[in-house]
Amino acid sequence: MKNYRNYLFCVMISLSYLTINTMDQKESQNGMRSFASDNNAGVHPQILQAIQKANVDHTVAYGDDVYTEKAINKFKELLGNDIDVYFVYGGTGANVLGLKAMTNSVDGIFCADTAHINVDECGGPEKYTGCKLLLIPTSNGKITVEQIKNHVATSWVGDQHHVQAKVISITQSTELGTVYTPQEIKEIADYAHSHNMYVHMDGARIANAVASLNVDIKEITANAGVDVLSFGGTKNGIIFGDAVVFFNKDLSINFKFIRKQGMQLASKMRFIAAQFEELFSNNLWMKNAQHANKMAQLLADKVSKLGIELTQKVQGNAVFAQVAKEYIEKLQKKYFFYVWNEEKSEVRWMTSFDTKEEDINNFVEFIKETIASK
């Protein structure tokens, strides 16, 4: 029996070594940095330190703690005092529950066909709100008032056979890396409000949009007429946690119950809050975004010189490009990234707060070598 246990122990050790070795090989193949998503980036060291500082003694759970209070005050310094802020685990939770607070199940939600709530949230918005997503085709991720007008039929209003148009949801910056200007958002909001609708903003990468536009964040949110904002943190240097921000506080009356029922109420909320407090201290949130944007622009400039065609304007931290199919597989053996559109051979390269200029140079050099080896 003893020998059998020793045998099992040796097998387990061998399997562990094999697993670690395989992981090391995969990491080596993928290169120093992934260009697949800013979700793949690590956590900013200052955020880790903030969590460690918050990990002291006991405190009241579920958000009734000083850390959450301080973080909410930071949001108010940034976005204005007349807001309500609720922390959730991630972006899908923020979007789904934010939309839930704005709608009834008979309502319709306008969004771009490329919107995250349509493409990447597994039907969550429709399941939990009961609403119908009303998709607007777009070539650059942005929707306009004219497009919305073409989809709004006056006969819908009050017609029991149709969902009732209630929310216009936009993403800032968009899933295609483009950004809405303050004027574009205000036009959408003015139209929405004049037709008894609300505006929801998926701000998973709102920091990158602010950095790109070089404006006060209130100019593209509160001042532009946004009613509810999903404020992203996980793509900008924190471990986990996003926030639902209500500029229209009438919509947040029951949100604490919606959040709990939606399984997004964190018991140890201080660890989400501590991250946001640190993120907003010394302008860290903006420094992270500015750096990511700068690296994306650098990548775009360098690959353009290689004759690679960009398919979207590079305004945030995303680079969309058309790359010959015979090159893509070779490039992916060393650098992980996604093919955005198989038919068009279009890829997406994302940068993040921890992308280094060296990473860009190495990647571009590998692209150059791959093209030359044809």
**Degrees, nearest 5: CA angle 260-265-266:** 155
What DSSP letter does each residue of 182-202 carry, written as one string?
A: HHHHHHHHHHHHHTT-EEEEE
**Degrees, nearest 5: CA angle 186-190-193:** 135
Q: Which residues of 330-340 are buried (b: 16+ CB within 10 A; e: fewer)?
A: ebbeebbbeeb
- pLDDT, tens digit only, all 374 positions of the chain: 445 444 443 434 334 433 433 344 344 344 457 899 999 999 999 999 999 999 999 999 999 999 999 999 999 999 999 999 999 999 999 999 999 999 999 999 999 999 999 999 999 999 999 999 999 999 999 999 999 998 777 667 888 999 999 999 999 999 999 999 999 999 999 999 999 999 999 999 999 999 999 999 999 999 999 999 999 999 999 999 999 999 999 999 999 999 999 999 999 999 999 999 999 999 999 999 999 999 999 999 999 999 999 999 999 999 999 999 999 999 999 999 999 999 999 999 999 999 999 999 999 999 999 999 86
Only one residue has tokens 């609403």, namely 131
Q: What pLDDT score does 19 carry?
A: 42
Q: Which residues of 76-88 are buried (b: 16+ CB within 10 A; e: fewer)?
A: eebbeeebbbbbb
Task: Report if pTM > 0.85.
Answer: yes
CA–CA dist 169, 129 (Å, integer): 14
CA–CA dist 323, 345 (Å, integer): 6
Phi, psi of 121 (to 5 degrees): -125, 25
Question: What structural domains does the chain harbor?
Answer: 30-43+284-372 (3.90.1150.10), 45-283 (3.40.640.10)
